[in-house]
Amino acid sequence: MRKRYRCEQCRTTSPPVLTRSALAIERHEHRRQFHGGHVPDGERVVEPGRSSFFALPREQQIVGTVMIVGLVVALLVRFT
Ligand SMILES: [Zn+2]
Protein backbone atom coordinates (compact mmCIF):
# COMPACT_ATOMS: atom_id res chain seq x y z
CA MET A 1 0.00 0.00 0.00
CA ARG A 2 2.76 2.48 0.95
CA LYS A 3 0.61 5.54 1.56
CA ARG A 4 1.66 8.71 3.35
CA TYR A 5 -0.24 11.21 5.41
CA ARG A 6 0.24 14.81 4.25
CA CYS A 7 -0.66 17.93 6.26
CA GLU A 8 -0.66 21.05 4.10
CA GLN A 9 -0.95 23.31 7.17
CA CYS A 10 2.33 22.04 8.61
CA ARG A 11 3.85 21.25 5.21
CA THR A 12 4.86 17.80 6.40
CA THR A 13 4.47 14.29 5.02
CA SER A 14 4.66 11.14 7.10
CA PRO A 15 6.96 8.25 6.28
CA PRO A 16 5.25 5.62 4.12
CA VAL A 17 3.02 3.15 5.95
CA LEU A 18 1.86 -0.26 4.77
CA THR A 19 -1.57 -0.66 6.34
CA ARG A 20 -4.76 1.35 6.69
CA SER A 21 -4.56 1.13 10.46
CA ALA A 22 -1.00 2.48 10.47
CA LEU A 23 -2.17 5.36 8.27
CA ALA A 24 -5.07 6.04 10.65
CA ILE A 25 -2.68 6.07 13.61
CA GLU A 26 -0.33 8.45 11.79
CA ARG A 27 -3.23 10.81 10.98
CA HIS A 28 -4.68 10.60 14.49
CA GLU A 29 -1.32 11.27 16.17
CA HIS A 30 -0.58 14.22 13.92
CA ARG A 31 -3.99 15.76 14.53
CA ARG A 32 -3.69 15.24 18.28
CA GLN A 33 -0.10 16.45 18.60
CA PHE A 34 -0.17 19.49 16.30
CA HIS A 35 -3.82 20.51 15.90
CA GLY A 36 -5.42 19.73 19.25
CA GLY A 37 -7.36 16.84 17.72
CA HIS A 38 -8.96 19.03 15.04
CA VAL A 39 -8.86 18.17 11.35
CA PRO A 40 -6.40 20.46 9.58
CA ASP A 41 -7.49 21.99 6.27
CA GLY A 42 -5.79 20.43 3.30
CA GLU A 43 -4.80 17.15 4.89
CA ARG A 44 -4.68 14.26 2.47
CA VAL A 45 -3.33 10.81 1.77
CA VAL A 46 -0.51 10.62 -0.74
CA GLU A 47 -0.48 7.46 -2.80
CA PRO A 48 2.43 6.39 -4.97
CA GLY A 49 1.86 7.00 -8.66
CA ARG A 50 1.11 4.06 -10.88
CA SER A 51 4.10 2.78 -12.70
CA SER A 52 4.00 2.09 -16.38
CA PHE A 53 6.18 0.19 -18.79
CA PHE A 54 6.62 3.43 -20.74
CA ALA A 55 7.86 5.28 -17.65
CA LEU A 56 10.84 2.92 -17.37
CA PRO A 57 14.24 3.94 -18.75
CA ARG A 58 14.85 2.79 -22.33
CA GLU A 59 17.47 0.21 -21.25
CA GLN A 60 15.03 -1.47 -18.85
CA GLN A 61 12.32 -1.51 -21.53
CA ILE A 62 14.68 -3.30 -23.92
CA VAL A 63 16.00 -5.79 -21.35
CA GLY A 64 12.48 -6.52 -20.09
CA THR A 65 11.16 -7.09 -23.59
CA VAL A 66 14.09 -9.37 -24.50
CA MET A 67 13.56 -11.41 -21.31
CA ILE A 68 9.84 -11.84 -21.97
CA VAL A 69 10.39 -12.83 -25.60
CA GLY A 70 13.13 -15.25 -24.51
CA LEU A 71 10.82 -16.81 -21.93
CA VAL A 72 7.99 -17.18 -24.46
CA VAL A 73 10.35 -18.76 -27.02
CA ALA A 74 11.74 -21.14 -24.38
CA LEU A 75 8.21 -22.20 -23.42
CA LEU A 76 7.25 -22.69 -27.04
CA VAL A 77 10.35 -24.80 -27.71
CA ARG A 78 9.77 -26.85 -24.56
CA PHE A 79 6.08 -27.60 -25.16
CA THR A 80 5.89 -27.98 -28.95
ZN1 LIG B 1 -0.46 19.57 10.64
Q: Span 2-18, mean pLDDT?
A: 95
pLDDT of residue 55: 83
> 52 C-alpha vs ligand 1 centroid, how far in Å?
32
- DSSP 8-state assignment for residue 42: T
Q: Span 3-32, mean pLDDT?
A: 96
Predicted structure pTM score? 0.63
- For residue 55, give Cα distances in angstroms to 52, 60, 68, 80: 5, 10, 18, 35
Contact predicate 46/14, CB 8 Å: no
pLDDT of residue 4: 96
pLDDT of residue 31: 97
> 59 C-alpha vs ligand 1 centroid, how far in Å?
41
Between 22-31, 41-50, 61-70, the lowest mean confidence (pLDDT) is in 41-50
Contact predicate 18/1, CB 8 Å: yes
The enclosing H or E element of 7 equals strand 4-7
